[in-house]
Amino acid sequence: MNVVALLAFLYGGCLAQYSPQTLPGRTSIVHLFEWRWVDVAAECEHYLAAHGFGGVQISPPNEHIVLNNPWRPWWERYQPISYKLCSRSGNEEEFRDMVTRCNNVGVRIYADVVINHMCGASGGSGTHSACRTYFNAGAEDFPAVPYSSWDFNDGRCKTKSGNIENYNDINQVRDCRLVSLLDLALEKEYVQGKIAGYLNKLIDAGVAGFRVDASKHMWPGDMEAIFSQLKSLDTRWFSNGTKPFIYQEVIDLGGEAIKSAQYFGIGRVTEFKYSAKLGTVVRKWSGEKMAYLRNWGEGWAFMPSDRALVFVDNHDNQRGHGAGGASILTFWDSRLYKVAVAFMLAHPYGLTRVMSSFRWNRYFVNGKDLNDWMGPPSYSNGSTKAVTLNPDTTCGNGWVCEHRWRQIRNMVIFRNVVDGQPFGNWWDNGSNQIAFGRGTTGFIAINNDDWNMDVTLQTGLPAGTYCDVISGQREGDRCTGLRVIVAADGRASFQISNTAEDPMLAIHVDAKL
């Protein structure tokens, strides 16, 4: 190995935990929230690989509590009972089969790992868990791990209730119970070893990394002690010595004692400001305008781009949980949602995660959705329904499949095409009409004003006729959508009606006719 290669290797090795280890040119991941493993595997093979998706965030794969009041809430999966690979999404065999099949078509799997706690204190005792494994929450007894009361933080927590009461007290946030969830003593080598064993089992199955749940509630030093015990990724699919991708769930909207930056040494961190702010801008609330997006990213006091995991909505804030607020855009507001997702995927900031949801019966009382607990589409015995496909490639059985919406799926490809190209050729009308390009490879124009947009702009693109990937796409030398003609000087005219189904146009060099 020459010196340059050696340096590149060492550099790559050191920074491995920030890279999703996707195939080259694949830049986004998708969260298939609550999908069954058999459906994820099929989606990798039949859709994600062909449409340029880099990987999938899956719901927690370990054994969790089963709750009947409310009935089978989605959040039961955030209450671990053991580290057996057995959950509402499927059993261990199905899990291993999914990871293998997705990797075989070049789509990575990232496991959502819940390692800060076990189930809630009032979870009862018995075998009401995904694999009927016995536990006793009151006695803090989880024999299948095994954990006993020695392995929990009770002694270290100083609040009266034993729960987190004040988010400005770092010790409480990390050593007390998050909404009564039994808080693991992560400073104990024994506990660290059990968790590292669980994560290594997932690595052995072939996962490429982890979404680390509730990271704010764990001391970075304890997390480092756990992650330093991790194996390299499976050499069936990854080169020798590749470390797992790590992205940590820390909700830092500013104003709390715990900052995202405290976790940068371990891996990437979720940038929740991105989701909250983008929703506010696209909704034009609080005096925000699309024109202000000119310096989006670090210019908005977000974390460094190479540390950020970004999204328009996630499984919590789309239903009012964890930093949810009225500004968050979701599939329920589909027109504005597509605008926000298109902007995210066109803009270079951060590593992008697309949300894929299920529908539930929202029931608002005084602005709060009383059905925010509702679990995935399921049968009366509690088993999750399959993701079925309609003839028009949308999903049935209550699955929303935002990632299959033409406008979103085609922008995932746009991001792959423009990868590495600089942000440039910004234009705005001082209000809510904006446009920008990515070097010489792609350009997007959005009209979020209440009047028509009609401008000629420098796109930076080579001359030619391009197919708009929002209204359609290039299929061979045919375009199923609108066309945009770029002149020899790189300029093109953009007319976007404010009442268009999707008020935007996006073109890139792979959609040139």
* Residue 142 to residues 20, 45, 60, 162, 188, Cα–Cα distance (Å): 33, 37, 18, 20, 16
Residue 322 interacts with, from ligand QV4, Ca ion, none (CB under 5-8 Å by kind): ligand QV4
User: Which residues, in sequence order, are CB contacts of 72 under 8 Å at separation 6+?
Assistant: 66, 88, 375, 378, 382
Euclidean distance between CA atoms 412 and 49, whole angstroms: 12
Q: Given 140, 249, 372, 449, which residue is catalytic?
A: 249
Euclidean distance between CA atoms 39 and 18, whole angstroms: 28
CB atoms within 10 A of CB 148: 13
3-state helix, strand, coil in the chain (%, to 5): 30, 25, 45
Residue 79 interacts with, from Ca ion, ligand QV4, none (CB under 5-8 Å by kind): ligand QV4
Which residues on neighbouring strands pair with residue 142, listed in sequence order?
Answer: 147
Query: Does 120 engage in binding with ligand QV4 (CB under 6 A)?
Result: yes
In the bound state with Ca ion, the residue whose beta carbon lies nearer, of 214 and 346, is 214
Query: Does 140 engage in binding with Ca ion (CB under 5 A)?
Result: no
Work out the angle between the directed axes of helices 189-205 and 220-227 (0-180°, nearest 10). Answer: 50
Residue 137 interacts with, from Ca ion, ligand QV4, none (CB under 5-8 Å by kind): none
CB of 229 to ligand QV4, least distance (A): 22
* Residues binding ligand QV4: number (CB under 6 A): 19
Residues 141-180 that bind ligand QV4 (CB under 6 A): 163, 178-180
CB of 316 to Ca ion, least distance (A): 18
Q: Closest by alpha carbon to 33, among 271, 374, 364?
A: 374
Query: Does 280 engage in binding with ligand QV4 (CB under 6 A)?
Result: no
In the bound state with Ca ion, the residue whose beta carbon lies nearer, of 110 and 152, is 152
Question: Of 63, 222, 316, 468, which one interacts with ligand QV4 (CB under 6 A)?
Answer: 316
Question: Of 70, 124, 322, 398, which one interacts with ligand QV4 (CB under 6 A)?
Answer: 322
CB of 504 to ligand QV4, least distance (A): 30
Euclidean distance between CA atoms 44 and 48, whole angstroms: 5
Residues 175-194 that bind ligand QV4 (CB under 6 A): 178-181
Q: What are phi and psi of 36, to 5 degrees?
A: -75, 150
Euclidean distance between CA atoms 194 and 145, whole angstroms: 7
Q: What is the three-state SS of 402-463?
A: HHHCHHHHHHHHHHHHHCCCCEEEEEECCCCEEEEEECCCEEEEEECCCCCEEEEEECCCCC
392 is an active site residue: no
Residues 180-209 that bind Ca ion (CB under 5 A): 183
Question: Of 29, 85, 113, 114, which one interacts with ligand QV4 (CB under 6 A)?
Answer: 114
In the bound state with ligand QV4, the residue whose beta carbon lies nearer, of 299 and 382, is 382
* Residues binding Ca ion: number (CB under 5 A): 4
Question: Of 88, 217, 353, 438, which one interacts with Ca ion (CB under 5 A)?
Answer: 217
In the bound state with Ca ion, the residue whose beta carbon lies nearer, of 174 and 273, is 174
Residues 74-113 that bind ligand QV4 (CB under 6 A): 75, 78-79
Q: What are phi and psi of 94, to 5 degrees?
A: -65, -35
249 is an active site residue: yes
Beta strands at 55-58 and 108-113: parallel, antiparallel or unpaired: parallel
Residues 243-262 that bind ligand QV4 (CB under 6 A): 249, 251
Residue labelled with tokens 């995202």? 260
Question: Which residues in this chain contact Ca ion in the complex, by CB under 5 A?
Answer: 116, 174, 183, 217
Give the catalytic positions in this structure: 213, 249
Question: Which residues in this chain contact ligand QV4 in the complex, by CB under 6 A?
Answer: 75, 78-79, 114, 120, 122, 163, 178-181, 213-214, 216, 249, 251, 316, 321-322
